[in-house]
Structure formats: C-alpha cells, structure tokens
Amino acid sequence: MGGGQLSTSRLDELTTWDAAWNGLRVVVTGIGLSGFSAADTLIELGARVVVVDAKDTEENRAKADTLRIVGAADVLLGQAHAGALPLVDGEPAELVVTSPGFSPTHPLMAAAADAGIPVWGDVELAWRVRVREGRKTAEWLTITGTNGKTTTVTMTESMLRAAGLRAIAAGNVGTPILDAIRDPQGYDVIAVELSSFQLHWSSSLSPLASVCLNVAEDHVDWHGSYEGYLADKAKIYANTKVACIYNADQSETERMVEDADVVEGCRAVGFTTGMPAVSMVGMVENLLVDRAFIEQRKDSAAELASLADLGEHAPRHTVANALAAAALVRAYGVEPIAVRDGLRNYEPGDHRIQPVARLNDVLWVNDSKATNPHAAAASLASFGSVVWIAGGLSKGVSYDDLIRSHASRLRSVILIGADSADLRSALARHAPEVRVIDAVPPHTGGKHASVPTVSGDEVMALAVAAAAAQAQPGDTVLMAPAAASMDQFASYAHRGGAFIEAVRGYVEGQAPTPKEP
C-alpha cells in the first residue's frame, strides 16, 4: 500500500482541532500570509512540518526563523528547493498544504500528485480545524466571483456587525482564514472570500450560505482553460446548507447552482439590480428589497436599504455587491435594519475605483484592483472621457470585448506592464484612432527593441506624467490595469500605492511639469 493511500486513511479522521494531528508529516508550500499561517497552525497541532518557498528574501528568512523557533522541522528557501518535495524527518510527507498561488502544474504539486500525496489549501485545513472543544464554532458565509469579492465580503462583515454579531471578513482578503479560526474568543460568523485557487484545493467545505457574484475570463493560465476556471468557481456551492445565492443577470452562476450537490433543503436565491422575482433580492425604484427571506414573498417585499445608504452615485456593480451581501446575511437570519445600518457604516477599501485627486477639472482614480478585463470594464463604464493607464500580466485572457465596448470613452492609453502586447494588439484592432503611449519608451536602435529595467514606482511616475500630458478638463485619468501586477509590482496594493504617490507628487508640484511627448 502506497504512502498516499495510508495518508488518505488517516486524513479522513482529521475533522476537528482535537483530532490526532500529532506527528503528521506535512509539507507546506509557500511562506506568504496563508502559508505562514498554515505552517504555524500545523505546528501548534503537533504536526511535523517542512516549509518550502522559492524566494530566499530577507522577509522570508525572518519568517523562517520564527517558524523554526516554534517547532518547524525545517524551512527550505531558494529556487533549488522548488522542484521536488522534501522528506519530513527522513520519510515521505503524508500531506501537502499549499498556498493559493501554486497551480496544479507547479513541480511541487505535480510531484505530490505523482506520489499520491493529498493536497489541501489553507481553507480546507481551516474548515477541518474550525471545531474545537471549549471554543465557539463559527458559521461560514462564502463568497467568490471574478470581481467584487472584497467589496462583498467586507459589506457582509459590516452587516453582520451591525446586527450585533461577532464577525470577521477573512480568507483571500486581510485576515488569513486560519488566524480567524484560532482567535481565542471565536466568532459567530466568518465571511470568507475565496479565490478560484483556494476553491481548487478545497473539498469538504459546507457553508451556511454561498455566492458566486459573477464570472468572466480570468486566470486561464493557472486553471488551464476557462472551463477549468468555471469548474473551480462552481465549487463554492458544494454542500451549502441554507442558501445558494446566484447572479440572476448572469446565467452561468445559475447553472452552477442547478448543478451543485447541496444539503437537502438548501434554497436557490437570486440577486438582481432589476425588479426581483419571488425568491430573489433586487431593486424596486431606489430601494433594495427582499423577496426571498420573508413569509409573504409571493406578493410583497421587505425593504432592506435605499440607494442613498450606499453613498452618492453608487455604480451598478456596487449595488449588485450590496444585494449579494444582503442575501448572505439574510440567509443567516439578520434583520433588514442591520442590512441598512451595515451599508451606512461601510467604508470602501482602497484601490477599488478610489478617487485620489482632482486638479484643473481632471479627476484621478485608482482602481488597481481591476486585475482583469471584467473589472476594468466596470471601472471604465463609470466615467465619460478617460485617459487610461493599463497593462501588466494578462493571465491568458482576451481584451477584445473590453476594448470594443469602451473604445469611445478613451482619449488615450498609457501602457504599463513588462509585456502588454495582447492589450496593445486589441487596441490596434478595435480602437485604432486612440493614441497609445508607452510609460517606459522602449530602447530602439538595434534589430530588436528592448524595454529598460526600471522599478515599479518609477514606471508609475512615468505613467502619471504621460497621463497628465494627455488629460484635458473634464477627463478622468483612470488607473485600471485589467491585468495582474506581479511583473512590475509586489502586489495590486503596491501598484495602487505607487499611483497614489505619483499623483500626489504631480499635484503638489513635486514632479516636473509634464510635457507633450
């Protein structure tokens, strides 16, 4: 019998914090937020843990020292360790717990598959240890979608807290899910944001309510195909107990619910920014209303909030996110007044359609969280004449629909990103009259052009200067890259912060007055 089969037999019994974790041989891949949290948790449980990360940085070395102090069997940093699974105490691992960024084709994941070693994500581990003797066990409300996850999960948290519940937003946002699980006081409810990567490595979750907000082409490179991406997103609904919330304006999410294997008695509840049918939440004039979680839903609706509670000029996608959050908390039993108060108390996070400055009747907006075309489309639709700063890691998606739909809004486009060839070619096909400017002009003079190496902060300063030269009164300079950030920045937050600093420098006159290139 192989090691993988033995592991599976033992792992099936590991469904609470107090189960027999002691001595379990585990390899944790990645030492970022989720990987560190997973390793720390497993060490506390008594497992024997080896951590592997390809990046041998000062920050990672400091984390490695901490994990060794608390009892890690070993921490292996550097590219030399990224190709093969290490032994744990001289024997093969019984389990791999992976960080979300490790795709199934990564050499470590492929090695685990070849050896028959089960792979969990940090969310799967969190679900299995959430029940602990002497501690409160929180219900989970789970949220995924191509866009709007963070807005929805934090709105959900705000509504839950307005109802007087001890609640937190965790998962793919802010607090790692295992840190929330280990909180000494415990929580009544955890609003859990889940990426498609986290869902891929999860199998036993059974949330009280779940939602897929929307789907559009994204992360095709990681999942291998759009169909693979959709299949992992659909896992959000598996084993849901009370309500599967779907986007009534997007049939793909409804089909996911129809195909889901759920707990008997679970309901399908739609959300729409239009008039809701029975068993939906939606809009009636300027009111957010509930026709799903009331007894008289066939011929009446309960008022949840008004558009005014969302702030002035809330865009359609924000209204949709609020309705999805409302459906989740209503499934838990939260009263309508807490939905309203939660929205009134809600403070939008940074980097999502975030106004930064206005100068000479030009509005500067940071939407660094627009990491794919679908998110950038929502951003572009919010403004009229736009100088667009865009580009980065495309993740294998197409830009044709985005440019075709919004070409008329574009005054000019400033390209960032180490390689924005896909975006450039889509602009040439569908917006040939729009001026396209490289933030970092390529070196020429040889047979092949090359882009000089500059830091992300320098790239953004150049992009802001170029945008300022193009913008006219009434325009919006919108940094909504429609791409991931990791080619030039540490994260989307770093990219957004660099934009904010560059705009501040320009507005305060600390940057040289830009000239027409």
State the DSSP code for 197: H
Tell me the three state secondary structure of residue 336: helix
| Residue 254 CB-density burial (10 A; 0-12 exposed, 13-18 middle, 19+ buried) | middle
Annotated binding-site residue? 149: yes
**CA atoms within a 13 Å half-sphere pointing along the CA-CB vector of 513:** 0
Residues 6+ apart with CB under 8 A from 440: 416, 451, 452, 454, 459, 462
Half-sphere exposure of 113 (CA within 13 A, CB side): 9
Q: How far is CA 342 from the centre of its chain?
A: 22
**Residue 427, H or E segment:** helix 421-430
Q: How far out from the chain centre does Cα 41 lie? A: 23
* Residue 147, marked binder: yes
- Whole-number Å distance between alpha carbons of 171 and 442: 40
Within 10 angstroms of residue 59's Cβ, the number of other Cβ atoms is 10
For residue 211, give the H/E element and its range. Answer: strand 209-212
Cβ 101 vs Cβ 35: under 8 Å: no
Distance in angstroms (rounded) separating the CA atoms of residues 56 and 341: 46
22 annotated as ligand-binding: no
Picking from 137, 143, 139, the residue whose alpha carbon sits closest to that of residue 237 is: 143
> Would you state the structure tokens that stand for residue 67, as one six-digit string?
């994990």
Here the tokens at position 454 are 């500059």
Closest C-alpha among 459, 91, 161 to residue 332: 161
Conformation bin of residue 361: beta by default, left when phi > 0, alpha when psi is -120 to 50: left
Strand partners, 270: 246, 280
The amino acid at 281: V
Tell me if 148 is assigned to a ligand binding site.
yes
Pairing of strands 48-53, 74-77: parallel
Pick the closest to residue 160 from 320, 284, 282, 343 (CA basis): 343
Distance CA 366, CA 464 (A): 11
Q: In one letter, which amino acid is 252?
A: E
Closest CA to 149 of 240, 215, 208: 215
Taking alpha carbons only, the member of 352, 390, 367, 397 closest to residue 150 is: 352
Distance CA 251, CA 503 (A): 40
Q: Could you list the residues known to form a binding site, using ranges.
A: 145-151
Numbered residues of the known binding site for ATP: 145-151
